[in-house]
Structure 1
Amino acid sequence: MKIDDRWEERTGFQERVAYHPSIDLRTDFVMVYGIDDSMPERIKEWQECGYVVHLMTGVAWGEYQDYLYGQVDGRNHWDEAQKNRYGETISHGKDVPYMVPTIAFTNYLTSRIKKAVDAGVEAIHLEEPEFWVEGGYSEAFKREWRIFYKEEWTPPHESVDGQYRASKLKAFLYKRCLDRLCTELKEYAQVKYQRTLRFYVPTHSLINYTQWRIVSPQSQLLSLPTVDGYIAQVWTGTSRTPNVYGGIAKERTFETAYLEYGVMQELARGTERRMWFLHDPIEDNPNYDWEDYKNNYVKTLVASLFHPDVFRYEISPWPNRIFNRSYPKKDGKGKEPIPPSYATSLLIIMNVLRDLNQDEIKWENGLDPVGLMLSDTAMFQRNHPEISGEDTSQKYDGTEREMLKGNKAKELLYWSEFYGLALPLLKSGIPVRPIQLDNIRRFTSYLNHYKTLILSYEFMKPEAPDIHLGISQWVQNGGNLIYVGDGSDAFHQVREWWNTQEADYNNPAEHLLESLGVEWREGIQHVGKGLVTILPNHPNEFAQNEQNAKLLKDTVKKATEKSAQDSFRWDEKNYLLLRRGPYVISSVMEESVHMEPLRLSGLYVDLLDPNLSIKEEVTILPGNQSLLYDLNSQTNETDIQVIASSSRMESVEKAHNEYSILMKGPLHVPGVCRIRYPVKPVKILIVDEQNKEKSINFEWDQRSNTFFFYYKNNPEGTKIKILHYAVDISSS
């Protein structure tokens, strides 16, 4: 661990309540949530406690009743609420509808957020620009349709073309909203305060929005220079959404989170924009017990760490609901607050996360990630006239016990077209990563990081034909493309560039193959220095049974081996393992090539253990994850190093015979710390507010030259003195 500058903004959290010592998590920044009358005072409180302060507010929903009921401009705006085909308002809560982002609503948000700029925040987060798939029936949306398409509105549920065009418009409207809002407020901050204001968009992943049937601008925001970055809102609630593998539908939290974080990394990779990965130690559903929350938190946490291009984290939304509320006991008899051991583990992890920007990145099996292409247009295909008779009118946001009603509706939510391509590889330890198809036309070298790509147009479509020129050039230069599809998707018939004006292709894959100069036939074909493999199956087939999953794996393996160097070795495992500097991250998967545990030998600190135990042998069972600190990665025997702590290390003082550390952490969370030291200390002292010193016990570990001790956390600070006499370390 190190003392770092809060302006690096490595870690932060969002909170709607006022400052309290029990939620003083000592991150770099805090996002004060909401723009009510208490906002300026809440901002001031967090600033006085040393935080960089941002503001977060909902851009699709919020406490905007004054606008809805005409108190702002004298006009009732309920016609701008999102509505489904039955005329029902799509709501986030009582009198809190999801909004159609009209110009009037955008202007209203702009005027409200100016108060936060006046209060001195450094950045603003416009959360969740979301338009539900079953929306598109309100009067405001019909007006926007007539303006955008220059034709009469078409009910989205009546045809695939209507559904696709409605969703395309929904994404445009939120892109327009964010562009106008960010531009005006940045100018406002410059003119009035001569200050640069930053804007970020906290958003679910493209995978989750597609699976939950929500439309959002996603990669379209890359075209807006006023957007400075994103928060990847991935957590247990999104990642435990069931999917199908081997014909079995169930929760696969680690695998889903791994894919979600992966596509969010791609949203910002190669740009100057910041990306924070969100973790949530519980979730929005308050009906689980602490063991369930912890197990799933660890799965999402570890999944995020397998994407090393991101090293900033939102360590918690709503810490008040984590540290100050109670949830059901495992036996169902009453509720209980957070267990001290879990609270301690959380604080250890939250402090470790500030140290994940490591230069040394190494995958254990040495395989290059396989890219699985994914487009924003996947969100546009999430309803179909064939299933409109089943109950797809309800929104599914992960808090419901029951999914959509009807077999076809459930199959829609499983989204097996995508997971059928991803899970067979991931379950075999192949680091597959969803990548943003739309970025091919934005960044000329975007595909250069990948040697093998999988593509299908059976659940998404290319937004423009020049995407195929980029793919063709990549293959010509040695890329290995595997196209999967049977041409059966009804959305091939929507009015788009491949079948309008002079174009006459049955589907966009025909244009792709023409651009590549290959025929539609199963198997491998050479193109320049590269290869194109055609697998004429619908992608959802590979989710239905093990035999089909093996067919996909064998196809990718054969193509990859044929295009690789002689030294290449396809290596299937039941785990992933990545090293980021001294941090060793692993996950062992069930439903994999075997059920053997992963065994690691060495000298490690277990960072998921609240006692920060030292282990020479680590065993990770299938279905479990680990986060370890490799003590053998640091060999300097004179080093003094705080390996991990449930407090933030604020300052360090070194003298001839002592070493002093000022630690700060939230009230009521136990303080623990493990420090590497050249010699066993003679004594450790705690210095209280009256500057009185008290000796405390510690545990010395000779194998690792580390010691461990307990203390009480204090947001005002706890000073710890380490006394020694055997060696002079004042110049360390």
Structure 2
Amino acid sequence: MHFRDRREERTGFQESGPYKASYDLQTDFVMVYGIDQSMPQRVKDWRDKGYVVHLMTGVSWGEYQSYLNGQFDGQLHWDEGQRNQENQDISHGKDVPYMVPSISFSKFLTERIKIAVDEGVEAIHLEEPEFWVEGGYSEAFKREWQIYYKEPWLPPHQSEEAQYRASKLKAYLYTRTLDRLCSELKEYALSKYHRFLRFYVPTHSLINYTQWQIISPESKLIDLPAIDGYIAQIWTGTSRTPNVYEGVRKERTFETAFLEYGMMQELVSGTDRRMWFLHDPIEDNPRHTWTDYQENYFKTVVASLLHPDISHFEVSPWPRRIFEGKRPSEDAVELKGIPAPYATTLLTVMHTLGDMDQEDIQIAGKSEKIGILVADSMMYQRKRIDASDRASSRYDGTGEISIANYQDQELLDFSHFYGMALPLLKRGLWVRPVQLDNVRRFSNYLDQYRLLMISYEFLKPEYPDIHNVLAQWVKEGGILIYVGDDSDPYHQVKAWWNTGHRKHRSPRGHLFESLGLSSDTEQGVYKIDQGVLGFLNLSPDKCAKSKANSDVLREFMNDCIEKYNKDIILEEKNHFLIQRGPYTIAAVLDESINAEPLELKGMYVDLFDPELKVNEQVTLHPNENTLLYDLNYRPSDTDIKLIAASSRVEKIEQTKDGLQMIAKGPEKLNAVARLSIPKEPNEVKCVIEDTEQTINWEWDQRSKTIFLQYIHNSGKETTISLNWKG
């Protein structure tokens, strides 16, 4: 029994430190972070340990002082840092400004990254192309405005028009930079080394960037042929950002992560590009307890696994800070290292993620997908224009935001989006963010949906032909529900729907016109050929603020379905449950239709349990989730099967008297494994480099599985032998 090749690159992590046995996670690949004098040695050391080696570096911030101070081309470039309305630097640290991505900056990055190409890395990750909404005031940005718009710069806080145009320019600048970088370096690698170099962009979700008031290329990256894929940078730090549901503002980590991962799935939907889903066992904010980190980590893992189209994972950023760092204890009196049971469970989950490419996917209950249309333009209208000319509040997940006033809090809540998504998601409905911009890219993009919701109160369609596609989709049998009251001040920006012969108050008017209706159409449900348009004349943020309005939204959607398309059945429940091969993934929602527990009966191994216990019944209560191995799933054609392990199991082979297993993992961490074998052994041995080590084991007669507990040592091979003869 042999196991996957590292070249499948199913699991990986990023690390800026040198190789160290204490965080040798034994994934398929490692992303060596940062380009400095130590980079060549770090690449070599990780490669020598058997890893496929990639490189990751920041594309909007980093240790770029040689460029800023003129060593690169003899010119100072401090005027290319992002600056806010008060002419202050927007920085990631001391002397580390977020950059305005000029042509000369892209040249600098290209030359800098060539060093990594020369070292033979197989792929390069250009992370977090970010331009803050509060930026747009530096001299470099003013120059770019003049080049792009062919007119003098306008302060972004001056009007909705100026803010919207500044944001579009910010997205364009990072799109241009990534296109230049990736194209030139791919040509460099092919011409000099006859080697195909891959490029990936680790990026937050469109939902998170919009909520945190950051501009990024997002779906525009789909148009760049030199980009090979992405990492979905979603973790507790993004997903714990509070939102409002039925008038209550609080953290909803599972629900937010579910939507974020769904959003990132859209960046590769219909393409051959790769997506890795990221999890982080802790997060950037160091003030939470280990228990808090663990609970929220489980929520993000489960949320990601409910999207079975993705089966590649970045299992951790910065494992050094996880396995060597310290965080508050429960009594908050002192900082402590990671609890041993959590460390063991982390390793088990990380290796389990490498086995998620399962063909057999079973979703419990009705799984009709409800698409909520979103667009890159959500990021372009994330500043309120008022008489005070205040700078935007800034939130980056590392601490508490200082809210200037009620309107700032309203903006951060992003209730226009969550007001449509949470009333459905909280009823166990399969809500999916759907990228509106993609309807122009892929002719069949909407084919998998029969029910879509849209509002232009927090986004704008950038091209009128989008409505042609939506109208045709409706006419062919789709149900489109429009939620909005035309109250958004950004409807007034100078755009295609209100210029020339088009004089619509909002883009909704053109959408309705494309469907054969007047822009003055009153709220109601309208038959359009074989499909339906439902118009709910209500701003979607109001659906977040009260249960009454959440109920209005749900009831209106049901009216649209019941009146015109009764074969669509939405099954409301308080949980999600899915089977990916032998793996059962489940989450029970709080604030749902009831507080009843979900009970699963059978024979399961709990993969969130450091002892990998076998359970004949698993009970989940609201706000709980699980990842299980179903021992009753499809009996194997072999008597020996690895169920789970907190090691990378390189090989299991049957011997004359039993079996032998080769395992690797970080040193000094408690390792566990559970195997299905024919019968109880009478001897179990653990050997590292000819030295016998302590191993504990326990036989479970009900499941005919054995539980092993042992210690890794310095990343060396651990040989475990089971003997059941003699």
TM (normalized to structure 1)?
Answer: 0.97
Residue of structure 2 equivalent to 1:290: 290
Q: Report the Cα distance in structure 2 between the residues aligned to 1:560 and 1:720, rounded to whole angstroms.
A: 58
In structure 2, relative to structure 1, the CA distance for the partners of 1:193 and 1:670 (3 Å cut) is same
User: Are the counterparts in 2 of residues 454 and 482 from structure 1 also a CA contact under 8 Å?
Assistant: yes
Q: Does 1:402 align with 2:401?
A: yes
User: Are the counterparts in 2 of residues 638 and 677 from structure 1 also a CA contact under 8 Å?
Assistant: no
In structure 2, relative to structure 1, the CA distance for the partners of 1:9 and 1:638 (3 Å cut) is closer
Deviation at 1:109, TM superposition (A): 0.4
652-661 or 312-321: bigger deviation = 652-661
Q: Report the Cα distance in structure 1 between the residues aligned to 2:124 and 2:359, rounded to whole angstroms.
A: 30
Residue of structure 2 equivalent to 1:88: 88
Q: Residue 632 of structure 2: SS of its match in structure 1?
A: helix
168-177 or 650-659: bigger deviation = 650-659
Q: Does 1:300 align with 2:296?
A: no
Q: Residue 447 of structure 1: SS of its match in structure 2?
A: coil
Q: Residue 524 of structure 1: SS of its match in structure 2?
A: strand
Alignment of 1:350-429 (within 5 A): 350-386=350-386, 388-390=388-390, 392-429=391-428
- Which letter does structure 1 place at the counterpart of 2:104? A
User: Are the counterparts in 2 of residues 157 and 388 from structure 1 also a CA contact under 8 Å?
Assistant: no
Deviation at 1:383, TM superposition (A): 0.3
Q: Report the Cα distance in structure 2 between the residues aligned to 1:186 and 1:279, rounded to whole angstroms.
A: 29
Alignment of 1:206-605 (within 5 A): 206-386=206-386, 388-390=388-390, 392-519=391-518, 520-566=521-567, 568-605=568-605
- Which letter does structure 2 place at the counterpart of 1:344? T
User: Are the counterparts in 1 of residues 393 and 401 from structure 2 also a CA contact under 8 Å?
Assistant: no
Deviation at 1:256, TM superposition (A): 0.6
User: Are the counterparts in 1 of residues 279 and 300 from structure 2 also a CA contact under 8 Å?
Assistant: yes
| 1:403-454 CA-partner distances (Å, limit 9, x unpaired) | 4321111111101000000000001101101111100100011111111100
- Which letter does structure 2 place at the counterpart of 1:525? Y
User: Are the counterparts in 2 of residues 404 and 413 from structure 1 also a CA contact under 8 Å?
Assistant: no
| 1:304-346 CA-partner distances (Å, limit 9, x unpaired) | 1111111100000000000001111111111110000000000
User: Are the counterparts in 2 of residues 60 and 129 from structure 1 also a CA contact under 8 Å?
Assistant: yes
- Which letter does structure 2 place at the counterpart of 1:554? E
User: Are the counterparts in 1 of residues 481 and 533 from structure 2 also a CA contact under 8 Å?
Assistant: yes
Residue of structure 2 equivalent to 1:730: none
Deviation at 1:654, TM superposition (A): 2.1
Q: Report the Cα distance in structure 2 between the residues aligned to 1:330 and 1:124, rounded to whole angstroms.
A: 39
Deviation at 1:657, TM superposition (A): 2.5
Q: Report the Cα distance in structure 2 between the residues aligned to 1:51 and 1:680, rounded to whole angstroms.
A: 35
Q: Residue 314 of structure 1: SS of its match in structure 2?
A: strand
In structure 2, relative to structure 1, the CA distance for the partners of 1:564 and 1:352 (3 Å cut) is farther
Q: Report the Cα distance in structure 1 between the residues aligned to 2:33 and 2:537, rounded to whole angstroms.
A: 49
Q: Residue 396 of structure 2: SS of its match in structure 1?
A: coil
Alignment of 1:173-192 (within 5 A): 173-192=173-192
| 1:217-259 CA-partner distances (Å, limit 9, x unpaired) | 0000100000000000001111111111111111111111111
Q: Report the Cα distance in structure 2 between the residues aligned to 1:668 and 1:523, rounded to whole angstroms.
A: 65
User: Are the counterparts in 2 of residues 91 and 97 from structure 1 also a CA contact under 8 Å?
Assistant: yes
- Which letter does structure 1 place at the counterpart of 2:461? P
Deviation at 1:388, TM superposition (A): 4.9
Deviation at 1:141, TM superposition (A): 0.4
Q: Report the Cα distance in structure 1 between the residues aligned to 2:455 and 2:358, rounded to whole angstroms.
A: 35
Deviation at 1:563, TM superposition (A): 4.5
Residue of structure 2 equivalent to 1:155: 155
Residue of structure 2 equivalent to 1:729: none
Deviation at 1:696, TM superposition (A): 4.3
User: Are the counterparts in 2 of residues 637 and 678 from structure 1 also a CA contact under 8 Å?
Assistant: no
Unmatched segments (≥5 aa) in structure 2: none
Q: Report the Cα distance in structure 2 between the residues aligned to 1:696 and 1:108, rounded to whole angstroms.
A: 53
User: Are the counterparts in 2 of residues 69 and 77 from structure 1 also a CA contact under 8 Å?
Assistant: yes
Deviation at 1:272, TM superposition (A): 0.5
User: Are the counterparts in 1 of residues 471 and 514 from structure 2 also a CA contact under 8 Å?
Assistant: yes
In structure 2, relative to structure 1, the CA distance for the partners of 1:41 and 1:424 (3 Å cut) is same
TM (normalized to structure 2)?
Answer: 0.98
Alignment of 1:58-69 (within 5 A): 58-69=58-69
- Which letter does structure 1 place at the counterpart of 2:725? Y
Unmatched segments (≥5 aa) in structure 1: 727-732
Moved over 6 A (4+): none
| 1:137-177 CA-partner distances (Å, limit 9, x unpaired) | 00000000011001111111010000000000000000000
| 1:468-493 CA-partner distances (Å, limit 9, x unpaired) | 11111211221111111111111111
Deviation at 1:136, TM superposition (A): 0.4
Q: Report the Cα distance in structure 2 between the residues aligned to 1:363 and 1:260, rounded to whole angstroms.
A: 20
| 1:44-96 CA-partner distances (Å, limit 9, x unpaired) | 00000000000000000000011111111111101100001110010000000
Q: Report the Cα distance in structure 1 between the residues aligned to 2:523 and 2:621, rounded to whole angstroms.
A: 39
Deviation at 1:677, TM superposition (A): 1.1
| 1:582-635 CA-partner distances (Å, limit 9, x unpaired) | 111111111111112111111101010000001111111111111111111132
Q: Report the Cα distance in structure 1 between the residues aligned to 2:540 and 2:268, rounded to whole angstroms.
A: 27
User: Are the counterparts in 1 of residues 158 and 389 from structure 2 also a CA contact under 8 Å?
Assistant: no
- Which letter does structure 1 place at the counterpart of 2:561? T
Residue of structure 2 equivalent to 1:125: 125
- Which letter does structure 2 place at the counterpart of 1:463? E
Deviation at 1:557, TM superposition (A): 2.1
User: Are the counterparts in 2 of residues 257 and 303 from structure 1 also a CA contact under 8 Å?
Assistant: yes
Deviation at 1:517, TM superposition (A): 1.5
| 1:371-423 CA-partner distances (Å, limit 9, x unpaired) | 00100000001002127545x44421011223432111111110100000000
Residue of structure 1 equivalent to 2:16: 16
Deviation at 1:569, TM superposition (A): 3.8
Q: Report the Cα distance in structure 1 between the residues aligned to 2:702 and 2:442, rounded to whole angstroms.
A: 50
Q: Report the Cα distance in structure 2 between the residues aligned to 1:394 and 1:406, rounded to whole angstroms.
A: 10
Q: Residue 179 of structure 2: SS of its match in structure 1?
A: helix
